[in-house]
Amino acid sequence: MFAFIKAFVAGFLAVLVFHQGLVWAFDFYGVIDASPWNMAPVPPFGIPKVVSAALFGGLWGIVLWLLIRRALAAGYYVGAIILGAIFPSLVALTLVTWLKNGQDTAAMIDAWSMHRVGVALAVNGAWGLGLAVFMRVMHPPR
């Protein structure tokens, strides 16, 4: 049970450091136009956007930890990057886009532009690496 709490904390911190750090770098170099560590409130509870993302990062951290916890050596980190890139990106580009835009087909098509997919995979892959690093620090293998 304690490992799941650590996984949540690791996922939360990975959003704040790795995910948002790459968003900052992409924004700084003009790859995307975004506001890293955005404190604007989001519905329905009005919590800051970065806190909302970090909370979801914590939940995803538990899921990813279940998938990578037994991996060894480099496979642990590579698996975290690949699975961290794919699963949250897939959910964000499908379910989240659909929930935010309804049946707006233009928004769905825009969500799947190569640029947007590439950025999502990179940022979420960085989050996956961050989760793996934080989990190794907090929960070293036996």
pLDDT tens for 41-71 read 998 889 999 999 999 999 999 999 999 999 9
For CA atoms 87, 93, 94, 95, the dihedral sign is positive
CA 142 to chain centre: 27
- Tell me, what's the pLDDT at 94? 84
Residue 132 has pLDDT above 90, yes or no: yes
Residue 6 has pLDDT above 80, yes or no: yes
Average pLDDT over residues 5-22: 97
- Tell me, what's the pLDDT at 29? 96
Average pLDDT over residues 24-51: 94
- Tell me, what's the pLDDT at 115? 86
> b vs e for 61-74, b when ≥16 Cβ sit within 10 Å of the residue's Cβ?
bbebbeebeebeee
- Tell me, what's the pLDDT at 102? 73
- Tell me, what's the pLDDT at 43? 84
What are the tens digits of pLDDT across the range 75-125? 999 999 999 999 999 998 888 777 777 767 776 777 678 888 999 999 999
This prediction's pTM: 0.90
Q: How far apart are CA 113 and CA 108, in angstroms?
A: 9
Residue scoring higher pLDDT (12 or 101)? 12
